Structure 1
Amino acid sequence: MEEYSVVLYKGYTPWQRLLLTAFLLTFWHLSTMAHVTIESLPLQVTEGENVLFLVHDLPENLTTFAWFKGLTNMTQRIAICTMDNNLSLPGPVHTDRETIYCNGSLLLKNVNQKDTENYTLQTYNRHGKIVSTTSMYLHVSAFLWKCGRLGTSAKITIESVPPRVTEGRSALLLVHNLPENIESFFWFKGVVGVKNLMVIWHIPERKSTKWGPAYTGREILYSDGSLLIPSVNQNDQGLYILHILRRDDELEEAEVQLQVDTPPSLFCNHLTSSQLMIQLVPWYPAEGESVLLQVRNLPEDLQAFLWYKSTYGAPIPKIVEYTRAMNSTIWGAEHRRRQWMVYNNGSLMLQNVTEKDAGMYMLEVSKNDSKIEEASVELYVKKNVTQPFVQITDTTVAGHRSVIFTCISPDTDIFIHWFFNNQSLRLTERMTLSPTKCGLKIDPVKSEDAGEYKCEVSNRFSLKTSLPVSWP
């Protein structure tokens, strides 16, 4: 009985296991001498693949065997085979994708999620009595796109559009490099040192959305994970964190700082508010250029200031620290050899910037009254995209033909657009785009799909198109 338990009990609740035990005991007296086992090849199956239920230790004294879909409903017969004449007959639930072999094994082609079910093999002797009953549960996973970035790890990033937003305007927290295999994602609002509050929880597959305590009633969620905040106010300012749970149970995280400026009519009174501010000059430097993090309204009674780069979930690396009383400047270990400069007014000059320098820069100012003021700014570094290329995967299973076009690029933070015969691709009901649009699947593919395909990648600063590929 133990062997059946190992094969059958995986993935069942205790209540289901109780029913299954009762079912097995019904046949136990008929199969004490039979120890048939079933192996799934491959063990994990994804939509569109083939799976073989390979049977081991088939009894020698049997004359007939049958495969069924389900555990107890014997009317759900797939096929039956008589071994004397090697004759097989399809059953009521046969779909022309199943093939049975004389060793008892069953091949199921081009599986889909509707094939997720228990599959049961029964064997019979010459007297028509059951010799063995063995089942295996098949789980078919949803098709996951694997576009690839030529070995490049594309980390999730979030861009605030615009980088600074004026009160009353709208801010878009734009997500880049969203994973293809998302189970669920969460948006949180919080500040460093304060417990984050959930804004939203979303499960894409179920199209389920739940709003959390930090939801103001204004936030709008997009399918790519981006968050729109209309009519922003000073209360919306601060740190926003995106948590993404993938189907492989891995957790990815990204953060962005939303900066809200006072309207120009009120900003005239900045001398009375004296809010510490940072301005980038220029706003979008290119790789190899210099950028000045210019500080405005530095307190006159400062004792010291500290620059650091904020990295969520990792130790904060200090860039430079300045103490007024000693007129001393101490650089962090990672920045001692770089030709960066800091000024007495708090401003920081970054020279020869690279894509790795992009991120959130924080300024912390200590004053004589022991109070601390903070300001932050997010730096983006312009990088021109490289030309992508298109890879074709053509599959034919049991006469059913499909094709997958994959746009491969070494760049991250990109947008992808597809073209067919030099025209923007118009999707049909047979076409599926991956969440990040890096993959295009046509299933089934038809003669009218023949032609030239190419993809276009772009970021905020540049655009490149692949060379065309012809299919078929």
Structure 2
Amino acid sequence: MGRIPHRPGGPWTGIFLAASILGSYLQPAPAQTPTPVTIVLTPPSPAVGGGVSLAPPNPPQDFTSCSWYRSATADGNSQILTYNPGPPPVQTNGLAHTGRETAGLDCSLHIAGLMLNDTGSYTVQIQSPTSPVLTTVHLPVSASVLGSCLQPAPAQTPVTIVLTSPSPAVGGGVSLAPQNQPQDFTSCSWYRSDNTDASSRILSYFPGPPPVQTNGSAHTGRETAGPGCALHIAGLRLSDTGNYTVDIQSPTSPGLGTVHLPVSASVLGSCLQLAPAQTPVTIVLTPPSPAVGGGVSLAPQNPPQDFVSCSWYRSATTDPSSRILSYFPGPPPVQNNDLTHTGRETAGPGCALHIAGLRLNDTGSYTVDIQSPTSPAVTTTVHLPVSAPVAPRPGLSAGAVAGIFIGSLAGAVLVGVGAYFLYSRCRNETPKETGAPVLVYENLPPKAGVGPVAQPGSPPDPSPMYQTLQPRQQDVYEELKK
């Protein structure tokens, strides 16, 4: 076959040009590749029993969520948690969550009570519309002596723990406060024993921001952590008597301390002195009749001035499964949300509970438990009635108002016309004056000589004497008076 002749400006030039333009439109947009970053471990050589933070430096400012995985890939079965910055911040735990992991505001992952089997790869996936991140880091967990490449870890500073009140009794509350804790502590864990055995861990506390509390296997639902690593226990029981240990993690001066907590019966506490009288606390609803869609505040009246925490429950009891939140006045104030928190509840000064966007199913009993180091725990319940909003009665339209006015006016006119006709009729029935003279009758005495003449000595005539009525003629004067 002969060669196809090529002429400048021929049809092939147009075909190639069209194909080139069409190809530019059909090419897929470049996919947004996740940016690899370096994850920083703090401390750099974590050891068994301690804690560690895995922090991606400078996460995207517009990130919408971040997920952590206990593997080298973003496999759903290895997901530890997903963190959404909010507001409010929300942490959703995954299949690989052990109860010791929490997320921070900067997408960091905090792990408390490290174990040797925590060693491995950890992956973070940060979702962002502009610069997503996907990166992996290896976490080495060593035994305490062998940590840091056979270099001894920083010596643990002995920690002194102060009890407030010093003689706690059954039914009351107590605070276990470490003294002079390091300013740069990253976490602290409390144990119901004289050692840091993981099975006796009550909780771990991360100062944040925001502060985060993760409960352990020895948590009874009555323990909360506060600023300064303090442990608050409410509703004390005799079985709470025992040793309590705090393990404070710090990159410069970790601390470890143990204290014995004696819990006595109420009557025998404080050297046979009676516990201080409990001040009655009532709860006031504002507004008093909350309705669907509105908001309400449940404010305890006269709470203890030195209270250290208060917890709200969506029930008539302090069952941990019904706890909404716990509030610590600080400074700074801290709120820890719990199982029955719906995202619409916040705590305020004075232990008040604020609920927004009320629903009918918010109706029910609410209980507050207020802890104070100087007075017994205060527990008060209030019933919250939530009513459906009252539909406003439809107002009269302008046409209806005008119709009523016109009808009233017409009725008034008809009444006036009827009254006029009645008045005219009454006047027509009254005799009218005419020009004819009015007859006036007068009595005239009987004329003499009329009838029989009475004889002398005869009895009087018993027949009555009638006078004659006769028309009287009017004189000229009376005519002129007219």
* Global fold match (TM > 0.5): no
Considering only CA atoms, is the larger Rg found in Structure 1 or Structure 2?
Answer: 2
TM-score scaled by length of structure 1: 0.27
**Of Structure 1 and Structure 2, which has the larger fraction of its residues in strand?**
1
Task: State the TM-score, normalized to the length of structure 2.
Answer: 0.26
